[in-house]
Amino acid sequence: MASAGWRSWFLAILIAAGLIAAVAHWGEVERFAALLRQAEPGWIGLAVMLQLTTYFSVASGWSAVLHRAGTPQRMRPLVRIALTKLFADQVLPSAGMGGNILLVDQLRGLGVPKGTAVAALLLSMIGFYAAYACFALVTLILLWLHDRATPLMAVVVTTFLLVAFAIPALALWLRSRGSRPLPDRIEHIDFVRRLLETVAQAPSALLRDRQLAIMVAACNAMIFLADAGTLFACLHSLGQRAAFGTAFIALIMASVVATLGPIPLGLGSFEATSVATLHLLGVELEAAFAATMLLRLFTLWLPLIPGMVMIRGVAKKRPAQR
C-alpha cells in the first residue's frame, strides 16, 4: 500500500507540473504557428521524421537488453514508455532522471521480471550518459578548433562530465553493494533500503556484457544526432544554410546547460544557450531564435501532449507491485 501511495503522488506531481508548464508558456506555443507558416514544408517534414526516430532509438536500447535477457517485447509498448519517460524527464529537474522512476514499473507491467527491468534501467542510464559525455567532449574540442571556446564553456562542460560520470558510477556502486547491511541511521529510511534492494536484483551478466552496453550507448547516441539533425532542418527551413556541425554544437551545449540547471523543461536556459551558441557560430540572431523555438516545438511541446495523456493512463492502471 505504501508503494502504491508514493507512485500515486509521483504521477500526480508529473501531471500537475506538465499542466503548469503548458499554461504558463502558452504564449510561446502560439508563436510556433507563425514560425511554421514561414518555414519550408520539406525541411519541417524531415524534422518530424527525425524526432520520431528518437523514440524508436530509446525503445531499441531497452529492446536489446530485454532480448538478451530472454524476455523480448514488441516495439509499440516500448515506444509508448519512451514517450512517458520523456515527459517525466522534462517536467522534473533531475538531470534527466525523473523518467527512470517510471521505467521499471512500466516494464514490469509488460511482464518483464523485476531484475531484468532494473538492468534495462541501469544499462540505458549508462549508455545515455556515455553518449552524452562523449558528445559534450567532442563539442568542446570542435569549439576549441574553431577558436570559439571560452573559459565559461570549458567550466560548464567539465562540470557536466563530472555529473555524467557520477550518476552511472553511483548506480553501479549501488548494484555492486547489493543488500549488505546499511548503517543504522540509513537502515531505518525505507526508501533507501528499498532502492538498494531493487538495484541489487539486476543480473550481473547483463551489466557486464560490453557488447550490449555498446549497443545501448549507440542507440542513445542516435537520439542526440537526431535532435541535432532536427535543429539543422529547422535552420534550413528558415533559409539558413548552416552546417550540421553548427547545429550539433548548439544542441549539445544547450542540452548540457539545461541538464545542469534546476529549471523544469529547461525553459529559458536551453533556448538562451542555443541562440547564443548559434549566433556565436555565425547564424543571424533572429534566425537562431526562430530555429531554436521550432526545435523546442518538436522536442518538447508536441510530445508533451501525448506524454501527459499516457501518464494519466499509467496513473489509472498502475500495477501495485512491490
Q: What is the pLDDT of residues 175-187, one digit of tens each?
A: 776 555 555 555 5
Which amino acid is present at 47?
A: A
Share of the chain above pLDDT 90, in %: 41
Q: What is the DSSP string of 42-110?
A: HHHHHHHHHHHHHHHHHHHHHHHHHHHTT----HHHHHHHHHHHHHHHHHS-STT-TTHHHHHHHHHHT
Confidence check: pLDDT of 320 > 70? no
Residue pair 103/41 in contact (Cβ under 8 Å)? The answer is no
Q: What is the pLDDT of residues 52-111, one digit of tens each?
A: 999 999 999 999 999 999 999 999 999 988 888 877 776 655 444 556 667 888 898 899
Which amino acid is present at 258?
A: A
Residue pair 102/85 in contact (Cβ under 8 Å)? The answer is yes
Considering the entire predicted model, what is its pTM?
A: 0.81
pLDDT average, residue stretch 235-241:
92
Instruction: Identify the sign of the CA torsion 80, 83, 85, 91.
Output: negative
Mean pLDDT for the chain overall: 80
